[in-house]
Structure 1
Amino acid sequence: VADAKDVKVDASKVNAIGKLPDIDDPRRERRFANALKHARVAADNIGENVSALAQDVFDALARTLPCRWDADVIVVMDEVKVSGPTYDAAKGCGSTPGAEERVQKVLEH
């Protein structure tokens, strides 16, 4: 290429792609807002200053039950608390019958 003297452009290939499609701004904004919402939910599911075991237990519980962090305590269904350091026992703190047993069953598997 360094010693090329004559360069010819095939005019039939110029602009062969054509005009690009218009951007659907409202759709782009909706997609962005949806992605941002999901990213915030995912970030809320990551515990701060918790062990890998605690995060693994949270992830396992969150697959089937609504969970949130309260410092280093996992709160399931706003009814049951699972505390460290072993995160293997559920303690009921609400009024729903069977909630503690349901969480304990997930912890055992």
Structure 2
Amino acid sequence: MNPADETVMEVEGGGEGEIFAVGKTYAVTLTTGIEFKGIVVAYDPDPNIVIFHILSILLAARTMPEKGNSMTTRMVKTNFISKLSFMARFKDPLASKKRVVDLNGLEAKEANAIREIERIGVGVTAEAQRIFNALSKTLPVQWVNKDILVMGEVRVCSPYHADCVTGGTTASQNQVKRVLKLEREKLQLGSGTGGN
């Protein structure tokens, strides 16, 4: 084995310009016997480290791999490279990365996660959370501290009974009270009022 500071690299073809220029693609053989084909995505001459995106397919044409072909990243100290065979050069070696990120999908997942987090009451009882979850099936609800805000105007305060409904119009209050009473009965919590 060669000393760590000795370079034993044999370069075939593609000798113009910097050997590890970003975008150059090589068939690489390491001193350990490992062989791979990879695109140079970064090179740091101070510690002599090159980063390749390892291709799992052969490059028949000078085009980037299509979406769906797997790529992994490998960081290699250059003194462990015994042979480089130049294959091709790409202007933007990370161009394929732009095609695999579904930004709209990520934004939708983030929005969904935020909605799910907002559905969880902070410092409320399990009963209050069950009532919130039940009301949310039929009405738009959100937590405002420990109160449940229904339809953006009617508040249901602790202990979340029909007589704890305030705000909004009389019609809105009556609708919330009806739904609340039905949901409490479904949850077997009782109505919590003497007269209703």
Q: TM-score, normalised by structure 2?
A: 0.41
TM-superposition CA deviations, 1:43-79 (whole Å, max 9, x none): 0111001000000111111111111111111111122
Normalized per residue, the structure richer in helix is 1
Whichever structure has more strand as a proportion of its residues is 2
**Residue ranges of structure 1 left out of the alignment (5+ in a row):** 1-17
CA RMSD of aligned residues (A): 2.1
Q: Separation in 2 of the partners of 1:98 and 1:81? A: 14
Q: Whose Rg is larger?
A: 2
Q: Which residue of 1 aligns with 2:190?
A: none
Change beyond 3 A, Cα 1:88–1:42: same
Identical residues among aligned pairs (%): 31
Does 2:152 correspond to 1:107? no
1:57 counterpart (131, 137, 150): 131
Corresponding residue SS for 1:98:
helix
CA distance in 2 between counterparts of 1:47 and 1:21 reads: 46
Whether the 8 Å contact between 1:92 and 1:99 is mirrored in structure 2 is no
Scaled by the length of structure 1, what TM-score is found? 0.71
Q: How many residues align?
A: 89
Q: Identify the residue that residue 14 of structure 1 maps to in structure 2.
A: none
Q: Which runs of 4+ in 1 moved over 6 A?
A: none
Aligned in 2, Cα 1:69/1:21: closer, same or farther, shift over 3 Å?
same
Q: State how far apart, in whole Å, the 1-side matches of 2:145 and 2:139 are.
A: 19
Structure 2 residue runs without a partner (length 5+):
1-56, 59-64, 69-98, 183-196
